[in-house]
Amino acid sequence: MQKQPRFSGVITPVLTPFGEDGGPDAERFVEHCHWLLDEGCTGLAPFGTTSEGNSLGLDERMELLEELVDDGIDPAKLMPGTGTCALADAVMLTKHAVDLGCGGVLMLPPFYYKAPSEEGLYRFFAEAIEGVGDGRLKIYLYHIPPVAQVGFPLALIGRLIKAFPETIVGLKDSSGDWSNTAAILKAYPGFEVFPGSEVFLLDGLRAGAAGCISATCNVSAAAIRNVYDHWQGPDADKLQAGITALRKAIQAFPMIPALKALIAHYRHDPGWAKVRPPFTELPAADADKVVRTLADAHNFRLDFAKAA
């Protein structure tokens, strides 16, 4: 029996802008989120890897999330990152998100200690679910072994779904390995799987994926949404080829600084380019190169006029 998906479509791990003082800039953040929804995003996943989420303090994350809800963004569309190395902190962030009405949370496994056992990871999630203690909780597992190093093996995913069928409802697969995504889709029908890159969007949808959650949605959500809306139409492969080519052009640069440089350029707002350590901003010449490369080869530009 296919469950009604809670999230589907095009979900953005929202970039986090910073102010002059280094703190998160709530005003730019809320503005960007509204613009992303206007561009066609079906959901927002703040505090993911692209969001520099793990460079944000616990209080900073909670305050930013409250800003979004206070500013009228439907919490059902929000899937904030709440996984941390420490159970107590993960429970606190997750409970806070559930209390705000968030439609789901995207949880990293505890990622400091390497090569944990399946049993150890299972216990982390079992204890987190018990700690939150709220039937509204919907967890999306965040599988990103290239960064977190610790991931979710296929058997663990199955064990968690079986133990918590109403809570463990989906997964973002940022392994970059389509065969892994395909294996999860095949093993667990009805589980809401999102490839971590739009490169796999069409293949994913054809195999039962729910959509994609991708860094580059921060600057190309409309084109990605177009593939999502027309994936069964005659132009689907051609549309997919377009977003794949753009994605590959962008990821040739350091992803987070490059995305921020693009927004800074088209918003005429140099402050948008600011990143937190351990990242560094692109040097001006490299930022120019990102803008020019994408404009020349992909006719890429961002239009913020309608958001004004």
Active site residues: 49, 112, 142, 172
Tell me the closest approach of the beta carbon of residue 169 to its own copies, in angstroms: 21
Helices and strands counted in the chain (H then E): 12, 7
Q: Which of 7, 29, 35, 111 binds its own copies (CB under 8 A)?
A: 111
Tell me the closest approach of the beta carbon of residue 275 to its own copies, in angstroms: 9
Q: How far apart are CA 29 and CA 46, in angstroms?
A: 10
Judged by CB under 8 A, how many residues of this single chain contact its own copies? 39
Tell me the closest approach of the beta carbon of residue 99 to its own copies, in angstroms: 18
12 DSSP β-pair partners: 44
Q: Which of 14, 56, 98, 239 binds its own copies (CB under 8 A)?
A: 56
Q: Which residue has the tokens 């890429």?
A: 300
> Whose Cβ is closer to its own copies: residue 54's or residue 214's?
54
Distant-in-sequence, close-in-space partners of 166: CB < 8 Å, separation ≥ 6: 135
DSSP letter for each residue of 88-142:
HHHHHHHHHHHHTT-S-EEEPPP-SSSS--HHHHHHHHHHHHHHH--TT--EEEE
- Count Cβ atoms within 10 A of the Cβ of residue 10 and give its class: 0-12 exposed, 13-18 middle, 19 or more buried: buried
Which of 111, 105, 75 lies closest to 91 in space, CA to CA?
105
Binding to its own copies (CB under 8 A) within 74-103 occurs at 85-89, 92
Q: Which of 60, 71, 74, 286 binds its own copies (CB under 8 A)?
A: 60
> Whose Cβ is closer to its own copies: residue 93's or residue 102's?
93
Angstrom CA distances, 217 to 26, 33, 109, 138, 264, stand at 20, 11, 24, 23, 16
Q: Which residue has the tokens 């065969």?
A: 179
Tell me the closest approach of the beta carbon of residue 298 to its own copies, in angstroms: 27
Tell me the closest approach of the beta carbon of residue 116 to its own copies, in angstroms: 3
Strands 43-44 and 9-12: parallel
Q: Which of 3, 27, 101, 123 binds its own copies (CB under 8 A)?
A: 123
Per-residue mark of binding to its own copies, 236-275 (x: CB under 8 A): ----------------------------------------
Binding to its own copies (CB under 8 A) within 140-199 occurs at 146-150
Residue 19 binds to its own copies (criterion: CB under 8 A): no
Contact footprint for its own copies (CB under 8 A): 22, 49, 54-60, 85-89, 92, 109-114, 116-117, 119-121, 123-124, 127, 146-150, 276-280
